[in-house]
Structure 1
Amino acid sequence: METRSFFTAGDGCKIAYRFDGPADKPVLLLSNSIATTLEMWDAQIAGLSRHFRVLRYDMRGHGQSGAPLGAYSLDRLGRDVVELLDGLDIAQVHFCGLSLGGMVGQWLGIHAANRLDRLILCNTSAYLGPGDSFDTMIHSLARSDDMTAMAEMFMTNWFPPAMHAGQPELIQRFRDGVLATLPHGLAGNFAAVRDMDLRRTITLIERPTLVIAGQYDTVTLASHSEQIAAAIPGSRLLVLPAVHLSNVEFPAAFLDAVVTFLQPGS
């Protein structure tokens, strides 16, 4: 088990985090997809830590972080990041978030822009409706502790058939991660996604932004990334031939895109 440290958010929730890389490098904060932990970035850490002090965390409801009962909000998930940076006395970071992490990144770009240098939004959406679909999943999680169906849904949504056939051990690691997620923690995060609508306010984002899309993403469609890139002034769009977890499916191309974008003067 990787070593994590902990801090306590303003509402009392324990948040787990860890650092990798030299302390004298610029800080790059990574924020994970729903139903994963900070370990979803493992394939990027060796490459990223050559250039950055990499900070990762388990979003509330995931991994070793706390999982309060009830609905979460995107505002609360964003403030978890701000409070983490405050607690670590870090004034500003590069931020890279995927899926739910990218939604948090959009919130930060709108509400805490002074804490960001550059922003990378991957396989994400500014709005992911309709709400009824999330209500159905939330109600399902309230009725049963069996996460098997959720795990299979995520595996189908995240990875192409070729990866299921060719990399079964990798798929199983992610499946095990979903199975280990507390149902009420997942439900709380589903509520945050259900209630999110940033389509109008992301036009306020002024930080240099790279948007990474998955050409074959069936959850956060490539068109969603195109809409985000069109709304954020001066942003760049990169479309990888990926499904949803583009950093896992195309680790080398993803790493190259992130490092190139974050280089001074790029």
Structure 2
Amino acid sequence: MPSDHPLLHHRLLGEPGAPLLVLGPSLGTSLQVWEPQAASLAGQFRVLSFDLPGHGGSSSGVLPTVAPGRTTVDDLAHLVLELVGHHRADCFHYAGISLGGAVGAHLSVHHPDRVASLALVCSSAHFGTAEAWLQRAALVRREAPPRCSPPSRTAGSPTRARRRAPAERPCSTTSWPPTPTATRPAATPWRRTTCAAT
């Protein structure tokens, strides 16, 4: 069912009758993180990629509250369900990177009848303490490049990016210090569900 309030900024590729595949980005990126795969995936799926609130083209105003530290994975999952509903899909496949993966895991646990398949990329059910994330956010604000750009491709080689000056490099978390490893909760057994999406 279409939403009557602002949605997450998103892009939809592929044929209308194809199965829906939702692609969730990681924190600090945008839907462009999936750009290298989107066109290929659109040959088989209807690909819906989105920006997290406050990232890319999505306003933080789509959240129930913009108070720091108040956004939950459940809030983000609700926004994804609104977006999927806006495009009139009941069931969908989902792939997500990091926080985008946590959103997908949340959806598959709390809405198993809607998630046909799930791919988690560099993700976790637990991301550490709030203190570690506050320190990381401060580091990003202090040391992030002044602008971020999507990767460019060299002519004749779609898989190799050209070398760039440091100010032109895409945003990346590779130079950040790793977040301290937290004790992970015991594994939960997966349960198989069926969904009408194919």
TM-score by length of 2: 0.70
- Measured in 1, the distance between the counterparts of 2:55 and 2:127 equals 20
Partner of 1:28: 21
For residues 220 and 90 of structure 1, the distance between their equivalents in structure 2, rounded to whole angstroms, comes to 39
In structure 1, distance between residues paired with 2:191 and 2:76: 26
> What does residue 110 of structure 2 align with?
111
In structure 1, the residue matched to 2:67 is: 70
Corresponding residue of 1:147? 141
1:57 aligned onto 2:54: no
Structure 1: gaps of 5 or more residues: 1-6, 153-165, 179-217, 236-263
Deviation at 1:219, TM superposition (A): 5.5
Residues 26 and 120 of structure 1, relative CA distance in 2, 3 Å threshold: same
Shift in alpha-carbon separation, 1:62–1:42, aligned structure 2, 3 A: same
* Unaligned residue ranges in structure 2 (runs of 5+): 147-160, 193-197
Which residue does the alignment assign to 1:239?
none
**Counterpart of 1:82 in structure 2: which amino acid?**
L
Shift of 1:168: 3.8
C-alpha separation between the residues in 2 aligned to 1:73 and 1:122?
Answer: 19
Matches of 1:112 and 1:234, distance apart in 2: 12
TM-score, normalised to structure 1's length?
0.53
Q: Which residue of 1 aligns with 2:38?
A: 45
Between the aligned partners of 1:105 and 1:23, the Cα distance in structure 2 is: 22
What CA distance in whole angstroms lies between the structure 1 residues aligned with 2:169 and 2:39? 19
Query: Quick check: 1:19–1:55 contact (8 Å CA) kept in 2?
Result: yes
Q: Once superposed, what is the RMSD of the aligned Cα atoms?
A: 3.5
Once the two structures are TM-superposed, the CA of residue 148 in structure 1 deviates from its matched residue by 5.0
Is the 2:94–2:115 Cα contact (8 Å) retained in structure 1?
yes
Match of 1:120 in 2: 119
**Is the contact between residue 74 and residue 107 of structure 1 (CA under 8 Å) also seen in structure 2?**
yes
Q: What is the deviation of 1:114?
A: 1.7
| Equivalent-residue separation in structure 2 for 1:8 and 1:147 (angstroms) | 33
Q: Deviation at 1:67?
A: 1.6
